[in-house]
Amino acid sequence: MSKLISVFEHEHLTIHDKRNKGTINKTQLDKLLAFNDNHDNKYFTAIRDGVKFTEYVGVIQIGNITIEILPKADKGDYNLWHGVLLKMLSVCKKINLETVSDANLSKRHFSLLDLYFDRFLNEVEKLLHKGLIKKYRYRTDNVFALKGQLQFAKNIQHNLVHQERFYTKHQTYDQEHLINQILLKALNILSKLVSNPFLTDKIKKLQLNFPEIKEISISKVQLDTVKLNRKSFDYSEAIQIAKMIILNYSPDIKGGNENMIALLFDMNKLWEEYIFRMLLKTPQNKFDISAQSSDKFWETKTIRPDIVLNCKVCQKPMFIIDTKWKVIKNTQPSDDDLKQMYAYNQYWNVNKSMLLYPQVESASEKFGKYHKGNLGNSYCKLGFVSVLKDGKLNQDIGQEILLKLKN
């Protein structure tokens, strides 16, 4: 089993650290840096003999080391925030925790990667049980019956002494096409990565039951061309996870044991989606809640608040919420954040907006007035909500946010 190293976002990890069961070595550090280079250096910053993590959270597996990067907005240990991250991902429909108890989450019996891999394997199992779809494709082959278009040059080359055969280009209807090859590729990658005995057994069974399809190299360009239709709709979830596996897999080209895969999430976007979904789940009949509404801003640029609350009766925007996953000092927002909210107020013609932060300590909350715009009737407040409640993810956060908009 992998050794676990846990860090919080914005912390650093070096080859000299002694965390949990160990630390990374120079080879693993080089692997991390190379991976970061290939992703525009957005996941962490290189420091002397190590890395400093950014706002991305999730998990990175390198050989026998698993690095878990956890969010943290308040007090608590790794176990607590491990469970919080998994619950947030579950609310945002990124993993399925229906069969995982809170007790097991707190004991960390389930790694984030294992949950994703298990979800993928279950989807592939369903598809195999139903039967993988077939498509028409062209193939060239040396066959015993003349069908399709005879390839004269190839036919002479291969069949000068075998006149009972025909080298042709013809159409066939089978399971050998890109979306099935994507599933196979991801399945074979997992066979090299997974050490969990339960998942290993699943992978072997699926490989045995998979149709005889040629494994090919699959590029990002090919993955981007995949378009699912009504016939292939059932593939949606499996293809989504397969893309993640293929794009984030970094094999050890030297043939050693340092194969790598990463599953990372921008905590700002995750917080935004989590708040949106919790608002949707909150019983109320006054607002229609929408995410990522947009309007033209300048030339080809658009302006896009996180969440808009529209009045159900008058069919007009009433409040704007913009989520910020960061701790601000002395409850002083940045000028850029305030200017952003001012623009939202003007564009959506609302009187009130709110910058929403995770709460770390008690803070004053009141609507502050913008001195110009909307006939001098434009306000923005700082809202602070606790991520945790009674040692768990706050399930009342949606209702708490709606109450803040009234005051």
| Residues 117 and 223 both lie in one domain | yes
Q: Does 274 map to a domain?
A: no
C-beta of residue 26 within 8 angstroms of C-beta of residue 16: no
Residue 50 or 4, more confident: 50
| Structural domain count, the chain | 3
| Residues 121 and 198 both lie in one domain | yes
If you average pLDDT over each of 87-96, 105-114, 327-336, 341-350, which comes out highest?
341-350
Whether the predicted pLDDT of 150 surpasses 50: yes
| Residues 317 and 377 both lie in one domain | yes
Q: Does 238 map to a domain?
A: yes
Which of 119, 143, 174 is where one domain is finished? 174
Q: What is the pLDDT of residue 71?
A: 93
| Residues 79 and 202 both lie in one domain | yes
Using CA atoms, how far apart are residues 164 and 254, in angstroms rounded to an integer? 47
Q: What 8-state DSSP symbol labels residue 363?
A: -
Q: How far apart are the first and last CA of the chain?
A: 52
| Residues 38 and 93 both lie in one domain | yes
Q: What is the pLDDT of residue 255?
A: 47
Confidence of residue 95 (pLDDT cuts 50, 70, 90): confident
| Residues 119 and 142 both lie in one domain | no
The encoded tokens of residue 211 equal 């149709």
pLDDT digits (tens, 9 = 90+) for 2-30: 688 889 999 999 998 776 556 888 988 99
With a pLDDT cut of 90, the percent of the chain lying above it is: 44
Q: Does 353 map to a domain?
A: yes
Confidence of residue 345 (pLDDT cuts 50, 70, 90): very high
Integer angstrom CA distances of residue 23 from 29, 182, 227:
10, 34, 42
Q: What is the pLDDT of residue 171?
A: 61
Q: What is the pLDDT of residue 380?
A: 92
| Residues 147 and 213 both lie in one domain | no
| Residues 157 and 231 both lie in one domain | no
Q: Does 313 map to a domain?
A: yes
| Residues 167 and 63 both lie in one domain | no
pTM: 0.81
The encoded tokens of residue 219 equal 């590029």
Whether the predicted pLDDT of 337 surpasses 80: yes
Q: Among the listed ranges 211-220, 248-257, 315-324, which one has the minimum average pLDDT value?
A: 248-257
What per-residue string of b and e applies to 269-306 under the rule 16 or more CB within 10 Å gives b?
Answer: ebbbbbbbbbbeebeeeebebebebeeeeeeeeebebb
pLDDT digits (tens, 9 = 90+) for 284-301: 889 999 998 888 888 999
CATH number at residue 356: 3.40.1350
Whether the predicted pLDDT of 170 surpasses 60: no
Which of 174, 201, 226 is where one domain is finished? 174
Q: Nearest-CA neighbor of 43 among 211, 228, 248? A: 248
Q: What is the pLDDT of residue 222?
A: 87
Residue 308 or 73, more confident: 308
Tell me which residue range forms the domain holding 296: 282-406
| Residues 192 and 144 both lie in one domain | no
Q: Does 271 map to a domain?
A: no
* Dihedral angle sign, alpha carbons of residues 86, 189, 2, 67: negative
Using CA atoms, how far apart are residues 19 and 148, in angstroms rounded to an integer? 64
Q: Does 277 map to a domain?
A: no
* Cβ contacts of 236 within 8 Å, gap of 6 or more: 228
pLDDT digits (tens, 9 = 90+) for 353-401: 999 999 866 666 788 889 887 656 889 999 999 998 888 889 899 999 9
| Residues 41 and 92 both lie in one domain | yes
Laid out side by side, the sheet with 249-250 consists of: 3-8, 65-70, 56-62, 260-266, 249-250
| Residues 7 and 126 both lie in one domain | yes
Q: Does 275 map to a domain?
A: no
Q: Does 319 map to a domain?
A: yes
C-beta of residue 307 within 8 angstroms of C-beta of residue 323: yes
Q: What is the pLDDT of residue 78?
A: 87
